[in-house]
Amino acid sequence: MLTRLDLRGLTGSELAETLPRPTAAGDEPVAAVREILAEVRLRGDEALLELTERFDGVRLESPRVAPAEMSAALEAIDPAVRTALEAAADRIRSHHLTQVRDGHTHTDGGITVEALVRPMGRAGLYVPGGRAAYPSTVLMTAIPARVAGVEEIALCVPPDRTTGRVAEVTLAAAAIAGVDEVYAVGGAQAIGALAYGTEAIARVDVIAGPGNVFVAVAKREVSDSVGVAAAFAGPSEVVVIGDDTTPVDYAAIDVILQAEHGPDGTVWFISWSPEACDAVTTRVAELVADSPRAAAIEEALARGGFCALVDDPAQAMAVANIVAPEHLELLCSEPQGLVPLVRNAPAVFCGPWSPASIGDYIAGPSHVLPTDGTARFASALTVADFTKDIHVVTVGPDGFDAVADHVVTLATAEGLDAHAESVRIRQADR
C-alpha cells in the first residue's frame, strides 16, 4: 500500500533526483481554471450562479448567505462542538497575538525612516467543502486576519449539493471568528469572484485558504490582481520520521490521517530501521482495511504513499528537506535533536504526543500551510500575510548633505539624469 524505497547510500543531487515528486497540475486544470476566471470576470454573479449549478449541483438565488444564519447556526450546533470551537479560537487568537508588530523608527546621519505596519482593508478566505465541513479552517484563516486588523473579512464556501446551504458548523465557526460576509460559492469561480469582484462580492486585497488543485491553480492565476497568502496551499502532505522506539500504531494512523483528506496528497514514513518500515507498512494496511473510507484512502496511498529506508537520522532529514512537506512529524527518540536539521517544513511536531492533528485544530498556529514543495520558500499563514509595511522617509539638511553626492553618482551611473538633477537642484540651494 505504501511504495517502498531503499534510499541507503544516496546523497546530494543523486538523492534529490531519485525521490518521487507530486505531479504538477497539467494543461487541463490550467485551461479550465482560466476559462472559469474569464467567465467570472466578464459576467460576475450570473456566471457564479451558473458555475455553482454546474459544479455543485444546486441553483441559488444569490451567492450571499444571510448574516443572521451565522448567529442562528451558533445557537443550533451541539454545545460540545461550540465549546471545542471556542477553545480552539482562544488558542489560535492567543498565538497570533504574539505576531502583531508595531512600527519602528531608525535614524542614521540625519535620515529618519519610520516603518508603519498597516492591515489590508479586505481579506477573502476560501474554505473547502464537498467531502466534509471544515470549521477549523474558518478559525485558522479568519482569526489571523482579524488579529492583523483587517476591516472586512469575506468567506467563500462551496454549498452542499443537497441543501444548497453552507454547513451549519462552518457558519457557527464564522460567527466565532468574526467573519463579516459568507458566500455559498466554491472552486476556481470563488477565487475569481474574490480577486475581481462581482455584483454581490466586492473584490479583496488578499486571498487565503486551502483548496483542491483547481483552487490552487486559480490563486496562482489571479496573483497579478490580488495578494495570495501562504504560497500553494493545496492537497495535504506529511512526512513521519520514526525508528525502533516509534509506536507503530501512532505512526500508521498519522500517515493515514493525511491521506484521509483526499486523493492528491503525499504521505511518507521514513526510517533507518528496516523493522520499523516493515511494521508501519503492515499496520497501515490493517488500519486502512478497517476504515469506513478504505477505498479513498487506498487510492490516495497508492498514488502518493511512500515508505523510505535510509542510512541514518541525518539522511532522513535530508529526504524530508527535499520533500519539503506541509507537516513533519519527528516520531523518533530524541526528536529535539533533529530540529536543528529542519530546513523546509512549515509545521514540525515533536514526540509521540504531538500528532499533526493537534496542529490541525487547536495548537495555535494556522493549519493553512504551503504544499507541493513550496515550503522551500514559504511559511505558514500568519498575521503578516494580512499586513503590509509602509516606509516613511524624512531627510534633514545634514542628512541630505551626507548622501547627496552618492545619489548623484549612482543616478548618473544608471543614466537617470532627472534623478541626479533632483538632488543637484537642492544642492544649489544649500
Residues with a catalytic annotation lie at 326-327
Whole-angstrom distance, CA of residue 332 vs CA of residue 145: 35
**Grid coordinates belonging to 59:** 441553483
Whole-angstrom distance, CA of residue 429 vs CA of residue 241: 68
As to burial, measured by CB atoms within 10 angstroms (0-12 exposed, 13-18 middle, 19+ buried), residue 102 is: exposed
Cell numbers 451549519: residue:
168
Q: Could you give the strand order of the β-sheet that contains 227-228, starting from the edge strand earlier in sequence?
A: 64-65, 181-183, 152-156, 122-126, 206-208, 227-228
Altogether, the residues listed in the chain come to a count of 430
**Grid coordinates belonging to 356:** 499533526
As to burial, measured by CB atoms within 10 angstroms (0-12 exposed, 13-18 middle, 19+ buried), residue 159 is: buried
Whole-angstrom distance, CA of residue 208 vs CA of residue 161: 24
Whole-angstrom distance, CA of residue 97 vs CA of residue 118: 15
Determine if residue 253 is left, alpha or beta; phi over 0 gives left, psi from -120 to 50 gives alpha, anything else beta.
alpha
Residue 245 DSSP one-character state: T
Q: How many CB atoms lie within 10 A of CB 74?
A: 19
Q: How many CB atoms lie within 10 A of CB 35?
A: 11
Residue 134 in 3-state DSSP? coil
Q: How many CB atoms lie within 10 A of CB 362?
A: 18
Rounded CA Rg of the chain? 25
**Backbone dihedral angles phi then psi of residue 135, each to the nearest 5 degrees:** -60, -30
Residue 264 in 3-state DSSP? coil
Q: Which of 393, 391, 402 is nearest to 109 (CA)?
A: 402
